[in-house]
Amino acid sequence: MTKDRFSSGAAPLGSARLDWRDGVPCSADFGDVYFSARDGLGETRHVFLDGIGGPDVWAARPRFTVGELGFGTGLNVLGLWDAWRRTAAPDARLHVVSVEGFPLEPGDLAQAHATFPELGPLAADLRASYPRRVPGFHRLRLDGGRVALTLLFGPVAEMLEKLTARVDAWFLDGFAPRRNPDMWTDTVFRQIARLSAPAARVATFSAAGHVRRGLAAAGFAMEKRPGFAGKLECLAGRFDGAPVADGSLPWYAPPAPLKPGATVAVIGGGIAGRAAARTLAQEGFRPTVFDAGEPSAQPERVLVSPRLAGPDDAYGRFMAQAFVQADAQRELPPAAGALHLPSEAETPRLVDFAARLGWDGSLAQPVDAAAASDIAGVRTPRGGMWYPAARFVAPPATMAAELRAARVDSLAAVDQGWRLGLGDGTSEIFEALVLAAGPWSARLMPGGLPGLRANRGQLCYLPATAGSRQLRLPVSFGGHVTPLTGVGGDALHVLGSSYRRWNLDASGDGWRGLDPGDLGSALDGLAAVFPDMAAAWRSAPLRGWAGLRATTADHLPFVGPVADVAAYEDAYAGLHHGRRGDWPTASYRHNAYVLTGLGSRGYQTAFLGAEMLASAMAGAPGPVDREVATALHPARMLIRHLRRPPAQRGSG
């Protein structure tokens, strides 16, 4: 895939203008109802659940994926969820992907759901997780994690083109074709075919001839069924067509899914490992986290604030979606906001990025110097960006998996999966492996993780002064400074942070502990925005945190399967010639995955990264667009290396 395959900015979301007719919502723009006035839930059950052959179609399936065009009020999702949870096996998992170009407001959802009290608890769970009205992908976890709902907010053809999935059944429930023709085009039908698993089912209320012919041309064997509530007919069918190529590059091909319930060793108990373990457990795997338990492994508090970049780039889209995903985590404390003070020339670019991402003022808004000073509680030298949803958080104490306080010294591939050699001389075998141990991940994996780097970072803890006590919220400026907060057993300010490349082999453990240069460097950065505060802290005692962070050259994490480096070098040695044609499919280390390279943005990126990881391991729908998934693939640095002529490769 190439960058120009996707648009340079998010398509603006339409506003759903509603008329209410006897408790039934009707679109004022399309002149059509969202569900039958006679019996909306009965319509869902007859047209869609019966139309795909439920519950028999999912009864023996440990994993089942449904795609829907037209989320609307969520009634079809609620009806499916209700039927599935009453008939599926207790350890089964359900994924639903639903596209909506005109998302309803939460209040409208609540009013529509009130018509169906039998769905009340499920509807409340859905509304509690309902995302912000931001264009793009949104991954929700429902029913304790057993149900994953991926909402795609945007135009249907564009959203489907960006999606990676193997869908077992489809609900086609856009407004009537004559009222909303964009939902019923041949382009949409071809995308449905591309995303369909063999023998995938499809059901729709429409019996229009061009819908039946379009689906048939895309590979579906269609038939008419009796309609509902006075409607003469509806359609159902099955995908009998040949698999449709999606243009994916062979060196980034997905691995074979892990079997349901597989045991997974997660190495690393920081935010990456904890987020991975929780999401893997929700996906039905059995994770165990191994962590040496070193107290200094992660800081006591971290700033979770947006990193805005252009949406025409995968980096910008990932960072924006990751922040929205982090903002939705219920275990994090409420947002208190943060102020960002870029250069005066940079602020207009950030405003443009936020607008093109579809962000409103609840996520980002520009402020002048007077407003910035009022927000911060201290005088600022210039205006900048106010991020109301930012927060300064402590690592969550919850763990959705067994935590083993043990050091992993070695890894060896065995027939059953992976043998972990532990620090006490014992070993254990797991069916699969996730490396989430920061820069040490590359040292553990046989063959390494090409492109993963270690960087030393630090945070300084500073006492209150007369001026610093007035600071109300975190302020970033290249570094960042926080108001008084509980760290190190006291009420202190946190000042951070600088990066320094670190060679683990040459420099060993010399990264531990602060030195006077760390504080001096941090204060030099602070002096550019708060000179009096910086001057007052020049003689402060040296206290704080130092640690190693894993980073990459393109500042994006590694998320996904681990490449077999030797096999890649053999299979793709000729990439530097620019040859087109058939290439072998990627060869990975069996059942080995990685979630690392999060840098200083771990709490912003770990939650979405964990969803990407779990989806890759389960063969579930991707929670991000295809270009973003490719941009985070762990083999990308190796492929870039192989694309260069041998004489130019060096050791990188």
Other C-beta atoms closer than 10 Å to the C-beta of 78 total: 22
Mean pLDDT of 390-408: 80
Query: Which of the four pLDDT bands, split at 50, 70 and 90, describes residue 294?
Result: low
One domain, residues 16 and 95: yes
Q: How many domains does the chain have?
A: 3
Q: Residues 363, 387: contact at Cβ < 8 Å?
A: yes
Residue 492 domain flag: yes
One domain, residues 19 and 150: yes
One domain, residues 14 and 112: yes
Residue 226 belongs to a domain with what CATH number? 3.40.50.150
Residue 361 domain flag: yes
Residue 287 belongs to a domain with what CATH number? 3.50.50.60
Residue 448 domain flag: yes
Pairing of strands 480-481, 475-476: antiparallel
Residue 325 domain flag: no
One domain, residues 634 and 494: no
Last residue of a domain, one of 203, 225, 245: 245
One domain, residues 535 and 512: yes
CA-nearest of 82, 102, 78 to 14 is: 102
Residue 513 belongs to a domain with what CATH number? 3.30.9.10
Asked if the model's pLDDT at residue 395 lies above 80, the reply is no
The pTM assigned to this predicted structure is 0.95
pLDDT tens, residue by residue, 142-164: 999 999 999 999 999 999 999 99
Q: Residues 23, 115: contact at Cβ < 8 Å?
A: yes
pLDDT tens, residue by residue, 235-284: 999 999 998 888 889 999 999 999 999 999 999 999 999 999 999 999 99
Residue 324 domain flag: no
Residue 200 domain flag: yes
pLDDT tens, residue by residue, 471-508: 999 999 999 999 998 766 678 999 987 778 888 877 77
One domain, residues 56 and 127: yes
Calculate the CA 427 to chain-centre distance: 33
Last residue of a domain, one of 499, 526, 547: 547
Residue 102 domain flag: yes
Last residue of a domain, one of 547, 580, 595: 547
One domain, residues 229 and 355: no
One domain, residues 339 and 459: yes
As a whole number, the mean pLDDT across the chain is 92
Strand, coil or helix: 222: strand
One domain, residues 520 and 585: no
Structural domain including 484 reads: 302-319+330-391+454-547
Residue 467 domain flag: yes
Residues in CB range of 455: below 8 A, 6 or more apart? 439, 499, 500, 501, 502, 548, 549, 550, 551, 599
Q: Residues 497, 479: contact at Cβ < 8 Å?
A: yes
One domain, residues 431 and 458: no
One domain, residues 210 and 339: no
For the chain, give the longest Cα–Cα distance.
83
Other C-beta atoms closer than 10 Å to the C-beta of 352 total: 14
One domain, residues 278 and 164: no
